[in-house]
Amino acid sequence: MSARDNHQAEDLRRLRELLAEISDLNAATALMHWDQQTYMPEGGIELRSQQLTTLSRLAHERLVSPELAELLERLEGSYDPSSEEGALVRVARRDHERAARLPSRLVAQMARAASEAEPVWVRARAASDWGAFAPHLERLLELKREAAEHLGYEEHPYDALLDLYEPGARKSRLEGLFEELKAGILPLLRSIAPGGRAEERSAPLVGDFDERAQEEFGRAVLTDLGYDWSRGRQDRVVHAFCIDLGGPQDVRITTRFDPRRVDTALFTSMHEAGHAMYEQGVSPSYARSPLAGGVSMGVHESQSRLWENLVGRSRAFWEHYYPLLQKAFPGSPLERTDLEGFYRAINEVKPSPIRIDADELTYNLHVLLRFELEVAMIEGRLAVPEIPEAWDAKMEEYLGVRPEKAAEGALQDIHWADGLFGYFPSYSVGNVLSAQLFAAAVRARPEIPDEIGRGNFGPLRGWLSENVYRHGRRYEPDELIERATGAPLSAAPYLDYLREKFGALYGCR
Ligand code: ZN
């Protein structure tokens, strides 16, 4: 070993050490968040928020520290970019630069503005009072525009915000994707739900569904899917989420139960398990490093949607599970419903003003609306007082429904109150990619659909592990997608899937 190699090895060792410390601090933050949503006593909220502030400050200080900057500087170009070491340096550098570009004054201002906005948003939503929330949104937008200038961009300030969730994504490219989605989905929706109304099909899902039986059934399904309980657990919350604690060895999920509906907890659990199996499948050697975890929000969401929708809402899946579900709820409306009726019920198309209630077909229209408004807000083309009106007009244009009040319109999501701009498009990227990945998996392993019909998810999970999970953040999102599917992100497989599925369900191919 030459002296140069020696220095390089020592630098890499020290880099790994610093990155592991940052990962540990972030994991402590994650654990505190998890605890806050699950078991923390109500009285602990203020104490907890101080603790979280300290931990994120410590992690941030380490990430922008001169020592880390120098190590990254020295190691830049030392490793083949396609090697794991090269990927580690690239990803760490990216995280470091993003953090370093934002003045700490601005980071603190954004955190404060969001923490002030959130409780106001809760009250404003309850009262459908846009005016109460508007000054907070103005402030958040102002700070986000400033952040975009610090972060830098080539084409559009929105790109700088998108980049946090979708590394390398561009507004211009997303516009093309959404145009394709709109052109494919709108005619299909018009023929299924003219004037925003479709046939009522979900009645069999409503009744008395014992919570214990729901929990048991859900756990059995997740076990079959391949969620590893020895490296995870499931708890109850109001808003479900999945959280990793720094590596694939501890990835937890949550769910919520509605004793009046048989589908809520199950699909929520399958969604979160999709996120979790991705994180559990990351190469164990990436633990406590920035290579652990998902490569982008869109790829992450593709995994939850794939298991929730392409698997969980497929006929093949229920050919195996429906008799078991009927047996789990004796005396429920399911006893009088055949497989076909149940399959139609869980795939009901129902235009609704509320995004989180949206079906597969209308979901992306909700995202499209938010994307268009966000871009106009960041550009300053849309003034904050005019948002509710613009929102309602688009809702009517795309979905044929009009919110009755702001709580069902522009005040429904927490994202803007949390300062999350550029986040919504990831939901649609996830939907689109879920179909592209599923199609690629079936091409490679044609037995997948039949195996799903037998309750065997091994072939599908195996393909995903090999092509997506294990890589963590090793490749850029675009590269990962190309490697896995042989093509760049494309709406075509998703639109084919929607046309085939809903065309058959509603007889309008
Ligand atoms: Zn999700």
Annotated active-site residue in 10, 85, 211, 272: 272
Model pLDDT, residue 83: 94
Cα(104)–Cα(65) distance, rounded to whole angstroms? 13
Say if CB 304 and CB 430 are below 8 A apart: yes
Amino acid letter, residue 27: A
CA torsion, points 438, 441, 446, 452, in degrees to nearest 10? -60
CA 477 to centroid of chain Cα atoms? 14
Ligand 1 geometric centre to CA of 300 (Å): 7
Cα(273)–Cα(262) distance, rounded to whole angstroms? 18
**Nearest alpha carbon to residue 165 among 299, 277, 52:** 299
Cα(476)–Cα(261) distance, rounded to whole angstroms? 40
Ligand 1 geometric centre to CA of 79 (Å): 34
User: Which residues on adjacent β-strands are paired with residue 252?
Assistant: 243
Cα(385)–Cα(12) distance, rounded to whole angstroms? 52
Ligand 1 geometric centre to CA of 355 (Å): 13
Strands (E), 249-407: 251-255
Ligand 1 geometric centre to CA of 240 (Å): 9
Single pTM value for the model:
0.96
Ligand 1 geometric centre to CA of 33 (Å): 17
Model pLDDT, residue 4: 80
Q: Which residues contact 50 (CB under 8 A, 6 or more apart)?
A: none
Ligand 1 geometric centre to CA of 272 (Å): 6
Cα(408)–Cα(406) distance, rounded to whole angstroms? 5
Ligand 1 geometric centre to CA of 179 (Å): 23
Catalytic site residue 272? Answer: yes
Model pLDDT, residue 509: 58
pLDDT along the chain (509 residues), means of 10: 85 98 97 95 92 92 97 95 94 96 91 91 96 97 97 97 96 98 96 88 96 97 98 95 97 96 97 98 98 97 98 98 98 96 97 95 98 97 97 96 96 95 97 98 98 98 98 97 98 98 90
How many CA atoms within 13 Å lie on the side-chain side of 334?
Answer: 23
Ligand 1 geometric centre to CA of 304 (Å): 6
Say if CB 470 and CB 87 are below 8 A apart: no
Model pLDDT, residue 182: 97
